Structure 1
Amino acid sequence: MKRTLRTTVITVGALIAALGLPAGAAHADPTPRIDLRVLVVSDGGPSTDAIAAELAAAGTPYTRIDLTQPGRTVIDADFLADTVDGRPRARFQAVVLPNDNPFPAGSAEMAALTAYERTYDVPQVDAYTYARPEAGLQYPVHGGYSGSLDGRRAEVTAAGKAGPFGYLDGAVPFEDNDPAVGESYAYLSKPVAGADFTPYVEAAIPGQPGKGTLVGEYRHDGRRELVVTFVYNQYQQQFRLLARGIVEWMTGGVHLGAARNYFSVHVDDVFAADDRWNSTLNCTPGDVDCTDPDATPDPIRMTPADVDHAVQWQTGKGFTLDFAYNGAGSVDHREDNNGTDALADRLIARRGEFRWINHTYSHPFLGCVQDTTVVPWKCATNPDGSTKWTSRNEISDEIATNRVWGRSAGLPLLDDELVTGEHSGMKVLPQQPEDNPNLALALDDNDIAWLGSDNSREPDQRRVGPATTVPRYPMNVFYNAGRAAEQVDEYNWIYTSRAQGGSGICEDNPETTTCLPAPLDTATGYADHIVPLETRIALGHVLANDPKPHFIHQSNLAEDRIAYPVLDGVLDGYAALFADNTPLVNPRMRDIGAELRRRAAWQTALRAGEVTAYRVGGTVTVEAPDGLAVTATLPTGTTLAGAAFGEAYAGAVSGWTPGTGTPLTLTLPASTPAPAAGDTAAPAPATRPAPRTRIPAGVTDPVGHTADG
């Protein structure tokens, strides 16, 4: 043991000298440069990957080293730091490790990291570690707990609320999506007596008085560690709630990239009617694939009372719905009802309560001409065998006529937004593997800049002529259901086996995530199964810094108003979790598209190595290409060229600023702690590698449709 310690002391002493800070007091200046980049050291486990995913989603630069890969980069003094223009440079502002020490005993790499962290005051996140004295905690066997936290509730402490987790109200519930599968595992214990340890998140210790730590800060030997003693993946709600705080802690609230919690809901087919599911025929009369001779359409359409309810609901929730409308729905209704349309009259009277999107005049299919003589339909062809397409004039007329109708009704429109019926005109597999070539031309005719697309088909933004797509999440609240029992009946048919009277889609596609072991009760299945599941999926998108909108249909606001329980679940669930300084962001389609496009350009620049950012004392410098919008999260009071930077969110300021090709210089408020010169007088004591920790199946193979439904 003494020989090992002696070797470590010599190694650390040599490393300190190599890290760029001379030992003599006369050479304490200049102030070091800290690059705004995170080092993520992974062992292939889900927790470090989750933190990397959080950084990637926000647009925060990081370098990942996988310890399991042969030939990987070796972590040493030269890799971690150097000197630039005579100034010592730390290449990383934070270090993320799988646990408090993932390296073999006597590791030179751990010694290099230890010296680096102490020299430059760089914090370390232990993504998931065993509770032990080396991490500032007692062993769990001493009055603590090791085991599942499925369905339990943790709490942010007063120190956590005053520190990195101040955006939360306090509760951190752990998911329990499948009682048959373990989805969490944790080590709960109390700090070692005399340790400088601050708990940030705690949970009650089962069978014991008091609480144990799940997340806390451990200060020791001139270093700072954020110790996390529960395992997670990037989709689990407990991680999503804490992810922002983990990043803010490790970066000191100074980093590139930004995150918000977004939720927008588009309601399609407003003014029109949606055909109803037929539980006897197991299809929707009026749909091209429902060819039964006894199929009679049974339309579902909102009423004036439904409009009033929507307005009252919005007011109560502080939330605005986006209505995608079809003007022909009202025109046809008036023709069939002696010129009257009470629904349209009420919608127009209350038009200022909603946002409006052009959804084409009569909601036709704008792709290939459909041959419905076969099921499923196929694209009709010309005599020469080429695909027969809906014409440019037909598409353009649908867009322009609906715009004119909306203007005449006084709807507050933005002319550059469009959602086509069924997202048609764009490719749809398997029948139509390419866009209608006339779509881009018609979009150009009508100056369309933002085009709604189906995220389940095309999750990435792309260009269609002059327009950029805005992928939308389909909610599993069906367009052809106005009553809860209809929704459950169709859900049962789709997601049960043929032997149970279902479609068999799950037998044909085992990867389908919403399969049912048995049919749901039509009286209770909606409230007991579908609503919690759809709420969980949508809230998962909200907590993942994902601005993409969700879409439902006007039929879901009619009759039983089945959309509201899901929307209430998302909004009420969010309000119960987050503090007032972290409001839900509810942007319209154009703004969502712009945000997604800025992010894509930013990520491209990061991958190309075109962005450099660093901090020297109270100044942050960002170098980026001309025309690239730069995003950052910084302390409140930060200025850029003398003006306030960003917008307030979650206790910080963040946002985008145009790049000019010259360095951007941001000045942090005087109250912002600067990285302190670490204690280089003596090396940290050697620690044993962290023991292996348990990872349940529900973490490695996410349970409960939390990824994307």
Structure 2
Amino acid sequence: MHLRSRTARWAVRSTLSAALATTLFAPAHTAAAAPAPRVDLRVLVVSDGGPATAAIAAELDGAGTPYTVLDLTRQDRPVINGGYLADTVDGRPRAKFQAVVLPNDNPFGAGSAEMGALVAYEKTFAVPQVDAYTYARPEVGLDHPANGGYSGSLDGVRAEVTPAGAAGPFGYLDGGIPFEDNSPSVSESYGYVAKPLPGADFTSYVEAPLPGTGQRGSIVGEYRHDGRRELVVGFVYNQYQQQFRLLARGIVDWMTQGVRLGASRNYFAVHVDDVFAADDRWDTELNCTPGDVDCAPGQGGEPDPIRMTAEDARYATEWSAAKGFTLDMAYNGGGSELYKEEHGGTDPLAQRLTADKNAYRWINHTYNHPFLGCVQDVSVVPWVCAKNPDGSTKYVTRSEISTQIRENRAWGQRAGLPLATGELVTGEHSGLKVLPQQPDDNPNLGPALADNAVTWLGSDNSRDRAQRKVGPALTVPRYPMNIFYNAGRTTEQIDEYNWIYTRASDGGSGVCESAAGTTCLPEPLDTVTGYADHIVPLESRIALGHVLANDPRPHFIHQSNLAEDRIAYPVLDRVIDDYTGLYAADTPLVNLRQQQIGTELRDRSAWNTAVKAGQVTAYRIGDTVTLRAPGGVRATATMPAGTRQNMLLGTESFGSPYAGSLSGWVSPGLLQDRVTLTLPAGTTAQAATADRADPVGSAGPRLPVPAGVRQRVPYGVTG
């Protein structure tokens, strides 16, 4: 609903706000004669310590958008006044912030000089304000929930983007916004669903159902008043919840008016390890994996390995084509050669996969998949590092590591695999440190990487999240999916899952009772339905959470999960299908290969370091954006479609399309020391039109925060 009125007046005015607007900022007729203002591309986040402002700050941080947090809980915080918000640079008025985020519509209280300064600033420079979580009331253009609205839990509710929201800041969504309901014992979302106040200039962008009425009310909308624009958010959230993740892009685009530093995309890549090799199988009686290091030597008799067939390979190719999704195959050429030795000199799997080689990306996973860290002493469980006579750790040699890399690369080249030769994933990420046995990298790993020109090395995100340098290479942390390498059948997956995640009294290992961050299952999963009912929704939700968090890190599974019962596909299907149902066609999953992901992480690190060190300057004057960063640091930005980069001679297109905008990395052109962008006509910031004065308002009632909302809402089992 979008209601307009030129006759409505508030009954109360704030004389203090009017006085501050007159003294701190120039009146409109004076500003019109002054030079066009400079607006710095930085967001002011005024925080009360609650989860909503923290979530928006996290979104800005993840995108690389500069922001300043003013913490209201600190006694030594700056005071918000005219000088804090604006000044003059080179004779031109400067707005120090392009947007303001408040915990609610007025966290300072009635008659506050600080709120008065913000009101005057927003009116003078056409700066939008986000009310991160506020009560539905007339002060924000909404009727009280008691008047035909609703206040209470939104767990499990499906909200909808309105036509105005789809035409505006939330057009990248496909319409529906499901609110999480992960636990019946935890209140995860609380909100106010309300009707716009009659006579208010309020545009509803996102609406939720009003229970028992068949009608809907606003939970996100824009309120225009007093020459100002406010985005009114009427539900509480934290940075991990899906409903916030879906709306975060639109909230930031709205407040920055589509012109900002930083960028956000939704990434999903899946690495399939051990291709052409065979994986050892979980023993449901022994509760370990014969042939691997978690079983004592000789325990379990002959291993019963899991290996894809040619039919599994055909299915993988057809699945990839149907989903429009490219898998990354981390291959071990020695596995194929061993199979041929044992099966009459032929390998139907290799024949099928190499025939379809262009349907995939390929990553060197070493020739025989040996452990390349310390030399393992597997006579004990758990294994330990072998020692030299002097007591030092005995490591796999540089020559052995180099041979594994080189021979596998040569095997792939003979097979015609489309390789990026600088990419490598070692078996089990070995060579890199692994606690508790090997607290340091194998010192021979870096030199071996240099010998083979390896520049991008896969690592385990659960153990080594930060990208770091190893010899000449940078790591690419990968998310392990909780689909086990030693399970080809659903029954094996469930049995091992129950062993790990149930209490000893329920027949499990009991490790969940002592391991930090691990939640025990209330009871063992059903051996028939547990995979579909519990593991698939849980693992897909975790993976989708990474996708929606602007996180390019890849996920990894194993070839065994594409064999036999093909247990990986239900999880991958759900991630992709759920995503497709949430997002519009102009906001696709971004599916990058390992070296592209590594480059993205590297550039983000350099950019974020420069931003936090105050080494980035960016501002907008009219339709021109200017930004400077340290030499060698690429800048990231999001701009409206049609934006051009000004070069020494002529212009070039900026960025690439995504979610209705252009975004990407940008550097100065030849002989330039800064980037200048020209925005398309019609994107100049405009103040909200209004013909009525408003009071600053009051702080309003204290808003409820559901239990647990200040921290990540638990997914349930983790691992």
TM-score tier after normalising by the smaller chain length: over 0.9
Change (3 A) 1:674 1:105: closer
Task: Report deviation, 1:23.
Answer: 5.8
Whole-angstrom distance in 2 between the partners of 1:336 and 1:467: 36
Matched with 2:134 is 129
2:657 paired with 1:652? no
**Pairwise mapping of residues 103-114 of structure 1 onto structure 2 (< 5 A)?**
103-114=108-119
2:304 paired with 1:298? yes
Matched with 1:168 is 173
Question: Residues 179-203 of structure 1, C-alpha deviation per residue, up to 9 Å, x if partnerless?
Answer: 1111111101100001000000001
Question: Residues 466-517 of structure 1, C-alpha deviation per residue, up to 9 Å, x if partnerless?
Answer: 000000000000000001111000000000111111111111125214x311
**Pairwise mapping of residues 123-272 of structure 1 onto structure 2 (< 5 A)?**
123-272=128-277
Is this contact kept in 1: 2:461–2:477, CA < 8 A?
yes
Matched with 1:454 is 460
Is this contact kept in 1: 2:20–2:120, CA < 8 A?
no
Code of the aligned partner of 2:296: T
2:667 paired with 1:662? no
**Pairwise mapping of residues 498-577 of structure 1 onto structure 2 (< 5 A)?**
498-513=504-519, 515-577=520-582
Matched with 2:696 is 686
Whole-angstrom distance in 2 between the partners of 1:517 and 1:24: 68
Secondary structure at 2:513 match in 1: helix
Change (3 A) 1:385 1:510: closer
2:677 paired with 1:672? no
2:359 paired with 1:350? no
2:39 paired with 1:30? no
Code of the aligned partner of 1:686: V
Task: Report deviation, 1:374.
Answer: 1.7
Code of the aligned partner of 1:643: E
Is this contact kept in 2: 1:537–1:706, CA < 8 A?
no
Matched with 1:701 is 711
Task: Report deviation, 1:14.
Answer: 3.6
Whole-angstrom distance in 2 between the partners of 1:22 and 1:137: 29
* Equivalent in 420, 423, 441 of residue 417 of structure 1: 423
Is this contact kept in 2: 1:114–1:684, CA < 8 A?
no
* Equivalent in 383, 408, 415 of residue 402 of structure 1: 408
Identify unmatched segments of 5+ residues in structure 1.
none
Whole-angstrom distance in 2 between the partners of 1:668 and 1:507: 57
Whole-angstrom distance in 1 between the partners of 2:521 and 2:99: 44
Whole-angstrom distance in 1 between the partners of 2:629 and 2:341: 59
Is this contact kept in 2: 1:13–1:683, CA < 8 A?
no
Question: Residues 311-350 of structure 1, C-alpha deviation per residue, up to 9 Å, x if partnerless?
Answer: 1101110000000000110111111111121111111111
Secondary structure at 2:292 match in 1: coil
Secondary structure at 1:299 match in 2: coil
Question: Residues 416-475 of structure 1, C-alpha deviation per residue, up to 9 Å, x if partnerless?
Answer: 000000000000001100000000000000000000000000110000000000000000
Change (3 A) 1:87 1:220: same
Whole-angstrom distance in 1 between the partners of 2:22 and 2:371: 68
Matched with 1:96 is 101
Matched with 1:435 is 441
2:298 paired with 1:288? no
Whole-angstrom distance in 2 between the partners of 1:701 and 1:592: 28
Task: Report deviation, 1:244.
Answer: 0.2
Secondary structure at 1:274 match in 2: coil
Matched with 1:56 is 61
Is this contact kept in 2: 1:425–1:435, CA < 8 A?
yes
Code of the aligned partner of 1:664: V
Whole-angstrom distance in 2 between the partners of 1:320 and 1:23: 56
Whole-angstrom distance in 2 between the partners of 1:11 and 1:510: 52
Change (3 A) 1:449 1:257: same
Task: Report deviation, 1:593.
Answer: 0.2
Whole-angstrom distance in 2 between the partners of 1:198 and 1:441: 61
Whole-angstrom distance in 1 between the partners of 2:710 and 2:511: 25
Whole-angstrom distance in 2 between the partners of 1:701 and 1:331: 50
Change (3 A) 1:292 1:500: farther
Identify unmatched segments of 5+ residues in structure 2.
1-10
Code of the aligned partner of 2:150: Y
Is this contact kept in 2: 1:536–1:706, CA < 8 A?
no
Task: Report deviation, 1:295.
Answer: 1.3
Code of the aligned partner of 1:665: T
Whole-angstrom distance in 2 between the partners of 1:24 and 1:707: 61
Is this contact kept in 2: 1:627–1:659, CA < 8 A?
no
Is this contact kept in 1: 2:16–2:111, CA < 8 A?
no
Is this contact kept in 2: 1:143–1:208, CA < 8 A?
no
* TM-score normalised over the length of structure 2: 0.95
Matched with 2:318 is 312
Task: Report deviation, 1:292.
Answer: 6.1
Is this contact kept in 2: 1:99–1:127, CA < 8 A?
yes
Code of the aligned partner of 2:453: D
Question: Residues 98-154 of structure 1, C-alpha deviation per residue, up to 9 Å, x if partnerless?
Answer: 011111222111111111111111000000000000011000011111111111100
Matched with 1:585 is 590
Whole-angstrom distance in 2 between the partners of 1:10 and 1:183: 39
Is this contact kept in 2: 1:396–1:446, CA < 8 A?
yes
Which stretch of structure 1 is more off in the superposition, 596-605 or 372-381? Answer: 372-381
* Equivalent in 578, 600, 622 of residue 617 of structure 1: 622
Task: Report deviation, 1:16.
Answer: 3.8
Whole-angstrom distance in 2 between the partners of 1:441 and 1:286: 31
Whole-angstrom distance in 2 between the partners of 1:706 and 1:222: 47
Is this contact kept in 2: 1:256–1:633, CA < 8 A?
yes
State the number of aligned residues.
702
Is this contact kept in 1: 2:654–2:662, CA < 8 A?
yes
* Equivalent in 18, 21, 45 of residue 24 of structure 2: 18
* TM-score normalised over the length of structure 1: 0.97
Code of the aligned partner of 2:532: A
Whole-angstrom distance in 2 between the partners of 1:706 and 1:578: 26
Is this contact kept in 1: 2:38–2:619, CA < 8 A?
yes
Question: Residues 16-59 of structure 1, C-alpha deviation per residue, up to 9 Å, x if partnerless?
Answer: 4323x356548632111111000000111101000000000000
Whole-angstrom distance in 1 between the partners of 2:345 and 2:633: 53
Whole-angstrom distance in 1 between the partners of 2:29 and 2:482: 66
Secondary structure at 2:220 match in 1: strand
Is this contact kept in 2: 1:144–1:208, CA < 8 A?
no
Is this contact kept in 2: 1:32–1:616, CA < 8 A?
yes
Matched with 1:277 is 282
Secondary structure at 2:709 match in 1: helix
Whole-angstrom distance in 2 between the partners of 1:292 and 1:420: 24
Secondary structure at 2:402 match in 1: helix
Task: Report deviation, 1:705.
Answer: 2.3
Matched with 2:367 is 361
Is this contact kept in 1: 2:501–2:717, CA < 8 A?
no
